[in-house]
Structure 1
Amino acid sequence: ISRLMTTRRMLIDPLLAQLIEKIEPMDTSGYDNANIGFSSAPSSSSNSINHHLSSMPNLDEMSGPSSSSTAPPPVHRLFSLLPPSSLPLPPPSNSSSNLICRVCGDVAFGKHYGVNACNGCKGFFRRSVWSRRHYNCRFDGDCPVIKEHRNVCRSCRLKKCFDVGMNADSVQNEREKGREVKKRKIKEEKSTQTSYQMNSFSSVSPPYRSIDDSVLTPPDSQGGLIFCSKLFTPDSNECTSTPEMLIKLEDETYGYAHLSPDDGNRPEREPNLSFDVAFKRPELVESRYLMNFSNRRIASPTQVCQGFRRHFVMCADWLFSLDEFNLLDECDQYIIGKRAYHMHGWLSHSFIVSQSEEEGLIFSNGAIVPYDKERGECSSGDSHVDSLFGQSLPRMMQFLVKPMREMEMDRIEYILLMMVMIFAESSGLTPSGRHICDTTRDRHLSLLYSYIKKEKESMSDDATLRLTKFLLMISTVTSLCHLLSDSVLSSMTFNTINFDNVCVDALKP
Structure 2
Amino acid sequence: MSHQSGSQPEEVCLVCQDISTGYHYGVPSCNGCKTFFRRTIMKNQTFVCQLEGKCPVDKSIRCACRHCRFEKCLQVGMDRSAIQQNRDPIGYTKRTRRYPPIRRADGNDEFSSNEISVNPIDQKEDNFLVTLALTEQKCNVLRICEFTTSRTLIEAVSSPCLLTDELFMSQYSVPSRRNNASILRFATQADYHYWHERDWFVMIEWAKTIPVFQQLPFPDKLALLRHSAITYPSLMHVFFSPDHGPDTIVFPDGAYFDRTPEPNRPLGFNKKKYQMLDQLLKPLRALEIDLTEFSAFKAIFFLNPDADDVDTSSKKPLSDGRSGITNALYRYMVKKGGSEEAGDRFGRLLLLGTVLATMAVEMKEAVLVADFFDQIQFSTFAKQLLFGIKQE
Percent identity between the two aligned chains:
17
1:235 aligns with 2:235: no
Aligned-residue RMSD, C-alpha: 3.7
Unaligned runs of 5+ in 2: 1-93, 108-117, 162-171
Closer, same or farther in 2 for the Cα pair 1:200/1:465, shift >3 Å? closer
Q: Which residue of 2 aligns with 1:465?
A: 344
Aligned residue identity for 2:380 = N
Secondary structure at 2:387 match in 1: coil
Deviations 1:217-269 (A, max 9, x none): xxxxxxxxxxxxxxx956167438533211211222322389649xxxx67x4
Q: Name the larger-Rg structure.
A: 1
**What are the superposed Cα offsets for residues 47-78 of structure 1, whole Å, 9 maximum, x if unpaired?**
xxxxxxxxxxxxxxxxxxxxxxxxxxxxxxxx
Residue of 392, 397, 404 corresponding to 2:272: 392
- Aligned-partner residue type, residue 387 of structure 2: K
- Tell me the equivalent position of 2:63: none
Is 1:255 aligned to residue 136 of structure 2? no
The C-alpha deviation readout for 1:462-491, integer Å capped at 9, x for no partner, is 533322211221111122222322222333
State yes or no: 1:195 paired with 2:99: yes
CA gap 1:419/1:389 in 2 versus in 1, 3 angstroms: same
What is the correspondence of 1:336-347 to structure 2 with a 5 Å cutoff? 336-347=224-235
For the residues of structure 1 that align with 2:104 and 2:222, how far apart are their CA atoms? 32
Q: Which residue in 1 is equivalent to 2:130? A: 244
When the two structures are aligned, how many residues end up with a matched partner?
A: 271
Q: Contact 1:453–1:463 (CA<8 Å) still a contact in 2?
A: yes
Separation of aligned partners in 1, 2:160 and 2:263: 30
- TM-score normalised by the chain length of structure 2: 0.58
Q: Does structure 2 conserve the Cα–Cα contact (< 8 Å) formed by 1:307 and 1:365?
A: no
| 1:376-415 aligned within 5 A | 378-379=260-261, 382-385=262-265, 387=267, 389-415=269-295
Name the counterpart of 2:299. Answer: 419
* Paired residues of 1:347 and 1:477 also in contact (CA < 8 A): no
Which residue is 2:354 aligned to?
A: 475
Contact between 1:249 and 1:318, CA under 8 Å: does it hold in 2?
yes
The answer to whether the 8 Å contact 2:305/2:316 transfers is no
Deviates more, 1:461-470 or 1:332-341: 461-470
CA distance in 1, matches of 2:383, 2:105: 39
Corresponding residue of 1:133:
none
For residue 211 of structure 2, what is the amino acid of its counterpart? D
Equivalent residue in structure 1 for 2:202, among 301, 311, 314: 314
Aligned match of 1:304: 192
Question: Gaps (5+ residues) in structure 1?
Answer: 1-189, 204-231, 373-377
1:40-439 mapped onto 2 (5 Å cutoff): 191-196=95-100, 235=121, 238-239=124-125, 242-256=128-142, 260=146, 269=150, 273=152, 275-280=153-158, 290=175, 292=179, 294=181, 296-353=184-241, 357=245, 359-369=247-257, 371-372=258-259, 378-379=260-261, 382-385=262-265, 387=267, 389-426=269-306, 428-430=309-311, 432-439=313-320
Q: Does 1:500 align with 2:379?
A: yes
The Cα shift of 1:364 comes to 4.7
Whole-Å Cα distance in 1 between the matches of residues 143 and 349 of structure 2? 32
**Deviations, residues 322-346 of structure 1 (Å, cap 9, x unaligned):** 2232222322211212122233222
Residues 121-176 of structure 1, C-alpha deviations (whole Å, 9 max, x = no match): xxxxxxxxxxxxxxxxxxxxxxxxxxxxxxxxxxxxxxxxxxxxxxxxxxxxxxxx
- Greater relative contact order: 1 or 2 (C-alpha under 8 angstroms, separation 6 or more)? 2
**Cα distance in 1 for residues equivalent to 2:239 and 2:160:** 24
